[in-house]
Amino acid sequence: MIKKVVIPAAGQGTRMKHLCKNKPKSLICVQQKPFLAYLFDNLLAAGYKEFILVVGFLAEQMEKFLKDFGYKATIVNQFDILGPKEKEYGTLCPLKCVRDLIGNENFLWVCGDNLFSVRDLKAIGINDDYIYVGSSITEHPEKYGVLLTDKQGVLKEIVEKPKEYIGNLVNKGLYKFTPEIFKQIPKVRLSPRGEYELTDAITEMAKQGKVKVKMLQDFWLDFGNPGDIIKVSNFLKNKKTCK
């Protein structure tokens, strides 16, 4: 059983606009509880025991959140390790910060502004030698990273936001990693948008035939824009539970 989960939550969440001026976006409340609390609840219900929370923007509020809600997690401050986002930025940065804490164990990776069901969180925790990418079919693949696989479900390539249709199986940002992912960090260069991308490290592993796709069975909720607050709230009301 995989025990460790890395939760990147260092960003300010600029797409949330004024709502994140004085608060990390994952701490914005939905149904009178911070969004991040729903993620922690589902991870615990799925059987995961050890959490590494990567913080940065208003890190002290993250520490208070853990204390107020009784969650236990090892806090890693990305900005203390790598400097402010103006110096180094991208989805690969949290990975750089947790290497020593992970060691030689397999681990789960789920962003602090995403929510998945307990069933899907359990299902992706496959304790073998492959990396797994949580995925689903979408009507708008041009908004995501499209996953190109062989007939056995082994990942060949991730194509970010393709302008032309190449497939509708997309990356939903839920991963199970092996410690081999850390060896790919030195190979990653700045992307065209000036960031260090986690998907570039995954692509390097895919070239070695070591990445598989895992279809999500339930929902994926993103918490990036003000409109998502209403969407998540309505989802919780209608489902009565997000598990």
- Decide if pLDDT at 239 tops 90: no
- Helix runs in the chain, H state only: 35-45, 59-69, 78-82, 93-97, 99-102, 118-123, 198-206, 226-239
What pLDDT band is residue 11 in, cutting at 50, 70 and 90? confident
- Decide if pLDDT at 242 tops 80: no
Angle subtended at Cα 13 by Cα 140 and Cα 73, rounded to the nearest 5 degrees = 105
What are the strands, taking DSSP E only, across 168-219? 169-177, 211-215
Which secondary structure element, helix H or strand E, spans residue 124, and what is its range? none
Give the model's pLDDT for residue 26.
Answer: 95
User: Which tokens is 46 given?
Assistant: 């799925």
User: Which tokens is 30 given?
Assistant: 């939905």
| Among 215, 218, 213, 242, CA closest to 131 | 213
Q: Where are the domains of the chain?
A: 4-136+171-239
DSSP 109: E
Q: Could you tell me which residues are beta bridge partners of residue 55? A: 77
User: Which tokens is 228 given?
Assistant: 């998502």
141 with 165: CB under 8 angstroms?
yes
Stronger pLDDT, 242 or 84, i.e. the higher one: 84
Distance, in Å, from the CA atom of 16 to the CA atom of 193, rounded to the nearest integer, reads: 20
- Residues 5-28 have a mean pLDDT of 88
Distance, in Å, from the CA atom of 228 to the CA atom of 28, rounded to the nearest integer, reads: 11
Give the model's pLDDT for residue 15.
Answer: 82
- Decide if pLDDT at 240 tops 70: no
> What confidence tens digit (pLDDT) does each residue in 140-178 have?
999 999 999 998 899 999 998 999 999 999 999 999 999
Amino acid at 18: H
pTM of this structure: 0.94
Give the model's pLDDT for residue 116.
Answer: 97
Amino acid at 64: K
Amino acid at 69: F
Phi, psi of 104 (to 5 degrees): -105, 25
Instruction: Tell whether domain 4-136+171-239 is in CATH 3.90.550.10.
Output: yes
